[in-house]
Structure 1
Amino acid sequence: MAANPGEGSTDAGGGPVRHIPVLLNEVLTALEPAAGKVILDGTFGAGGYTSAILSGGAEVIALDRDPTAISGGQAMVAAHGGRLKLIHSQFSLLADHAPAAGLDGVVLDIGVSSMQIDEADRGFSFQKNGPLDMRMSASGVSAADVVNRAKVAELIRIFHFLGEESQSPRIAHAIEKRRAEKPFETTRDLAGLIEIVTPRKMKDKIHPATRVFQALRIFVNDELGELAQALFAAEQALKPGGRLVVVTFHSLEDRIVKTFFSDRAGKASGSRHMPIAHERAATFDRIGKPMVSASDAEAELNPRARSAKLRAGLRTTAPAEAADMSIFGLPNLASLGKLGA
């Protein structure tokens, strides 16, 4: 994900810095784009990865759930004479857009883009006041719906798990008390309350509302579920020898990607006390190091790269396995459609 919203005026989370593709050289090294290959960019955004992949000679199928990104990318589509197909879609559905022969590569840059954060009316950041929205697809349940309708216990779980916020109970109860008087409508409205309830200490580098905003964004967009489903979809859509490259910005996301590649590395079931019951063939082999992070130079140039982690795998000839969400151990948080029911 992008850097924490509101962390600083020059950071992707709150400042004017426009989107710069993170770990671009490392992504291209892992993907190996070339003429004759078809690579799917599941998170088009401003087209940073897509542009570089096209320059490498490959054809690109690019997806984005944000209609603004789709409209903004039409000039790039026109400039590449049929080598770029841009589709409005969640990346969890990437297998639906893959050619019958399969994909040579899939790249995913997980999280919210700098452009989305910079647009006050999207409500991703409290650096600029705007409606408490946070919906990447501009449809469905908003962050205001969650804050104003979810039960206190649900808010505590959301803030604690998705934001790793230690003051979740205090913040959730303060929200409950305040919304009974007046519903939350803007980003500054919510951030202001959190700052009162949990004031920033001198040693703190981030705003006290940062983790809550992160949690709400992840929850509203079901980002962890989308990522997990996208990994399964890539396993189905990649041809043997195809490459899956994933860049994450948060420990929860990285844990999901690490777990997926570990699970798909092949292993024997059973125990040390019993004979091996079934041996699983690997569906992915590791590409390069287990994890690649940004260099100090890139992190200095692009603050969004500071927490970036890249993991990549090479698709084997083994058939895709079942899409079993239980391997990730994700909690069953409140249903978006039944908040406060």
Structure 2
Amino acid sequence: MAANFGEGFSDADGGPVRHIPVLLSEVLQSLDPEPGKVILDGTFGAGGYTSAILGKGADVIALDRDPNAIAGGKELVESSGGRLVLHHTEFSNLAEFAPEGGLDGVVLDIGVSSMQIDEAERGFSFQRNGPLDMRMAVSGVSAADVVNRAKVSDLIRIFGFLGEEKHAGRIARAIEKRRALEPFQTTRELANLIETVNPRKAKDKIHPATRVFQALRIYVNDELGELAQALFAAERSLKPGGRLVVVTFHSLEDRIVKKFFSERSGKASGSRHLPMVEARPATFEPVGKGMVAASEEEAEMNPRARSAKLRAGIRTSAPAERADMSIFDLPDLATLEKIGG
């Protein structure tokens, strides 16, 4: 399961929550798994969706960039009777693992998993003091590298866009002043500084550090870029009639998925960078009436489901379109000064 901090930025990421697949019944209904079908689970996590899909009789190809998730899935692979294959890779690479005839379904549950949040040594949550890490793949540039080495102007862009943090400038300048004396090493050190700069008011439902931690995690793992590339890869990999189901937990993620399905609907469209273009053949048709949110009952049982949104589409026989990132109107964060790990 992937559970993001959520569009409403809840504090639900802090404490241990038993692994509960979000919107499971809705995912299964949209995905329609059955014997003879091959479904790709691009975000294996603790195997919640994969287990349910296997239970419906379909075969599963599952991916995860987290080596701990891969190790934890070995028992499920062994008990699947050959119906589950697990690969250690980013879900943007999913096209490489599609069978020759194409996939019957792709499911993506975007964000950080409850397992990662609950492990202090992974550095995703400030509620548990640990190293300032946040790397899903346990390799590459860490959150500490970004906080201690990025230019102030780059930190402001990261916090402002990816975290929608109104006090991005003040927080970035305070980080610059503190790191000149001593580099940040732990999640608690960063959270405490942010709370000093932006004190928590009695009416606040979330900790002042929530948005900055979210922004760092998304940036370190290139989550928005990964999501966009995975959508293009799914379009290339699904057979006609195959289904793409995506569950998001944050407004930026949902915006990307919504824009993708809109662009692939065959209606005339364009971005702010390009003129309006004529209608093309639709590569996806909608499943149901559009976005599906968690019920009040599920949100009460599992706080991490509160901001979950599901969107799904059925692949048509039209050729896949070009993977054009400009349709998402995302800022070019790749232009930020390179940070060495």
Q: Is the 8 A contact 1:3 1:303 kept in 2?
A: no
Letter in 2 for 1:309: K
Q: Is the 8 A contact 1:158 1:215 kept in 2?
A: yes
Give the 3-state SS of the residue equivalent to 2:320 in structure 1.
coil
Structure-2-length-normalised TM-score: 0.94
Structure 1 segments unaligned to the other structure (5+ residues): 271-275
**CA deviation digits over 1:259-318, x for unaligned, max 9?**
000000002479xxxxx9854000000000210000000000000100000000000000
Q: Is the 8 A contact 1:141 1:336 kept in 2?
A: no
Change (3 A) 1:333 1:220: same
Structure-2 separation of matches of 1:191 and 1:154:
19
Change (3 A) 1:263 1:128: same
Q: Which residue of structure 2 lines up, in the alignment, with residue 4 of structure 1?
A: 5
Q: Which residue of structure 1 lines up, in the alignment, with residue 29 of structure 2?
A: 29
- Cα shift at 1:202: 1.1
Structure-1 separation of matches of 2:225 and 2:329:
11
Q: Is the 8 A contact 1:7 1:14 kept in 2?
A: no
Instruction: Report matched runs for 1:75-224 at 5 Å.
Output: 75-224=75-224
Change (3 A) 1:101 1:4: same
Q: Is the 8 A contact 2:148 2:184 kept in 1?
A: yes
1:229 matched to 2:229: yes
Letter in 2 for 1:105: G
Q: Which residue of structure 2 lines up, in the alignment, with residue 71 of structure 1?
A: 71
Quote the RMSD (CA, aligned, Å).
Answer: 1.7
Count of aligned pairs:
332
Structure-1 separation of matches of 2:179 and 2:141:
17
Structure 2 segments unaligned to the other structure (5+ residues): 271-275
Give the 3-state SS of the residue equivalent to 1:338 in structure 2.
coil
Structure-1 separation of matches of 2:320 and 2:4:
33
- Cα shift at 1:339: 2.8
Letter in 2 for 1:238: L
Structure-1 separation of matches of 2:82 and 2:66:
22
Q: Is the 8 A contact 1:141 1:337 kept in 2?
A: no
Q: Is the 8 A contact 1:151 1:339 kept in 2?
A: no
Structure-2 separation of matches of 1:143 and 1:277:
40
Structure-2 separation of matches of 1:80 and 1:277:
47
Change (3 A) 1:269 1:52: closer
Structure-1 separation of matches of 2:210 and 2:174:
16
- Cα shift at 1:337: 7.4
Structure-1 separation of matches of 2:87 and 2:335:
27
Q: Is the 8 A contact 1:30 1:243 kept in 2?
A: yes
- Cα shift at 1:19: 2.0
- Cα shift at 1:18: 2.3
Structure-2 separation of matches of 1:306 and 1:278:
38
Give the 3-state SS of the residue equivalent to 1:155 in structure 2.
helix
Structure-2 separation of matches of 1:137 and 1:212:
20
Give the 3-state SS of the residue equivalent to 1:307 in structure 2.
coil
Q: Is the 8 A contact 1:154 1:334 kept in 2?
A: no
Instruction: Report matched runs for 1:219-258 at 5 Å.
Output: 219-258=219-258
| Identity percentage of aligned residues | 75
Structure-1 separation of matches of 2:314 and 2:236:
13
Structure-1-length-normalised TM-score: 0.94
- Cα shift at 1:179: 0.3
- Cα shift at 1:16: 1.1
Q: Is the 8 A contact 2:5 2:250 kept in 1?
A: no
Structure-2 separation of matches of 1:132 and 1:86:
29
Q: Is the 8 A contact 1:92 1:227 kept in 2?
A: yes
Change (3 A) 1:334 1:196: farther
Letter in 1 for 2:186: T
**CA deviation digits over 1:132-189, x for unaligned, max 9?**
0000000000000000000000000000000000000000000000000000000001
